[in-house]
């Protein structure tokens, strides 16, 4: 799904940046409808998650709207509500109602990212997120996410092939913890290599493309400028409320 989405992502990026908030919301609504009726469409799995990717693209617009509509005192409450809803989504809806569960997860995960990116959280949480180790893990998080399940799967297969079913049944928690620790350590170093050898060069390439496209409309995203120069997302992440600035001629 992610490979297919990555092919159409540049087009979606251009659409999201060149249209206003209302058209973005309309396009998002159409993607949600496609997800709802995915059983009637070919390649239903792709339509299931299409709007999730587009939500990420309209984050700058969402942040600006939240700044206009949500009072400063309500940010922490909204943050806690988003966490609770994100965690409980699969419990609220039955396994057969996957659409509603994914929709709930996507909406509140987007809200969480918007709140964190705009720095409107509790000062204590902000300090935790500013810890160098947390920032480093944040840089590697996508590569880690990509590789961890694959590594965990093959480690589990190897463990089940070596360890007898009797031992597995007798010590499930211990073996589970062993798998978790080993898979996390291996995934961390694989993600580290992938970030520096694959993700960072591609971020730089993508940022350069974004700058060229955005200059035609007279705006350049701050993140794109920083990424073009450093090959990584800036430490400040998404800058808000103004996510883009006029280019100097």
Q: Are residues 92 and 175 in the same domain?
A: no
Asked if residue 161 and residue 93 are part of one domain, the reply reads: no
Q: Is residue 200 part of a domain?
A: yes
Q: Are residues 237 and 191 in the same domain?
A: yes
Whether 136 and 235 map to the same domain: the answer is yes
The predicted pLDDT at position 187 comes to 94
Q: Note whether 113 and 136 are same-domain residues.
A: no
| 49 in a structural domain | yes
Residue 85 and residue 179 in one domain = no
Are 40 and 223 in contact by the 8 Å Cβ rule? The answer is no
Does 239 lie in the same domain as 136?
yes
By mean pLDDT, which of 6-10, 22-26, 48-52, 81-85 is the weakest? 6-10
Indicate whether 63 belongs to any domain: yes
Residue whose C-alpha is closest to residue 2's, from 37, 55, 46, 43: 46
Residue 126 lies in a domain: no
Q: What is the pLDDT of residues 100-158, one digit of tens each?
A: 888 999 999 998 888 887 776 666 666 777 788 888 888 898 889 889 989 999 999 99
Give the number of domains in the chain. 3
Contacts of 16 (CB under 8 A, 6+ apart): 24, 27, 54, 57, 58
Average pLDDT for residues 82-92, to the nearest whole number?
A: 88
Higher pLDDT, 100 or 13: 100
Residue 32 scores a pLDDT above 60: yes
Q: Decide if pLDDT at 51 tops 90.
A: no
What is the model's pLDDT at position 239?
41
Chain centre to alpha carbon of residue 22: 23
- Does one domain contain both 193 and 150? yes
Burial of 58 by CB count in 10 Å (0-12 exposed, 13-18 middle, 19+ buried)?
buried
Q: How far apart are CA 6 and CA 140, in angstroms?
A: 19
207 and 149 in a common domain: yes
SS3 content of the chain, % helix, strand, coil (to 5): 80, 0, 20
User: What are the CB-based long-range contacts (under 8 Å, 24+) for 119-122?
Assistant: 120/72, 120/75, 120/79, 121/75, 121/76, 121/79, 122/76, 122/79
When pLDDT is cut at 50, 70 and 90, the band that residue 184 belongs to is very high
- More confidently predicted of 182 and 221: 182
Where is average pLDDT lowest: 55-64, 204-213, 220-229, 240-249?
240-249
Averaged pLDDT for residues 225-229: 52
pLDDT surpassing 70 at residue 238: no
- The 3-state DSSP class for residue 238 equals coil
Does 191 lie in the same domain as 214? yes
Mean pLDDT of 41-60: 76
| Coil, helix or strand at residue 38 | helix
Is the same domain home to 52 and 64? no
Q: Is residue 249 part of a domain?
A: no
For residue 201, what are the contacts with CB-CB under 8 A and spacing of at least 6? 231
Cβ atoms < 10 Å from Cβ of 197: 11
Owning domain of residue 39: 1-57
Confidence tier at 58 by pLDDT (50, 70, 90): confident
The verdict on 216 and 138 lying in the same domain is yes
52 phi/psi in degrees, rounded to 5: -65, -40
């Amino acid at each position: 799904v992610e490979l297919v989405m990555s092919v159409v992502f540049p087009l979606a990026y251009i659409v999201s940046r060149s249209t206003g908030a209302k058209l973005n919301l309309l396009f998002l609504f159409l993607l949600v409808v496609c997800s709802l009726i995915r059983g009637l469409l070919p390649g239903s799995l792709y339509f299931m998650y299409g709007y999730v990717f587009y939500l990420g693209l309209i984050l700058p617009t969402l942040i600006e709207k939240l700044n206009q509509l949500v009072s400063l005192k309500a940010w922490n409450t909204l943050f806690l509500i988003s966490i609770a809803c994100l965690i409980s989504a699969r419990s609220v809806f039955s396994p057969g109602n996957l659409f509603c569960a994914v929709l709930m997860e996507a909406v509140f995960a987007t809200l969480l990212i918007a709140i964190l990116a705009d720095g409107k959280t509790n000062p204590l949480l902000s300090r935790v997120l500013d810890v160098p180790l947390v920032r480093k893990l944040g840089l590697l998080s996508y590569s880690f996410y990509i590789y961890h399940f694959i590594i965990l799967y093959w480690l589990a297969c190897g463990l089940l092939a070596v360890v007898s079913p009797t031992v597995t049944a007798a010590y499930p928690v211990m073996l589970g913890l062993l798998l978790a620790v080993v898979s996390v350590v291996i995934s961390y170093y694989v993600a580290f290599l992938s970030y520096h050898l694959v993700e960072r060069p591609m971020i730089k390439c993508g940022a350069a493309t974004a700058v060229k496209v955005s200059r035609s409309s007279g705006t350049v995203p701050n993140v794109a400028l920083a990424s073009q120069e450093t090959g990584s997302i800036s430490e400040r992440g998404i800058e808000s409320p103004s996510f883009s600035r006029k280019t100097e001629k």
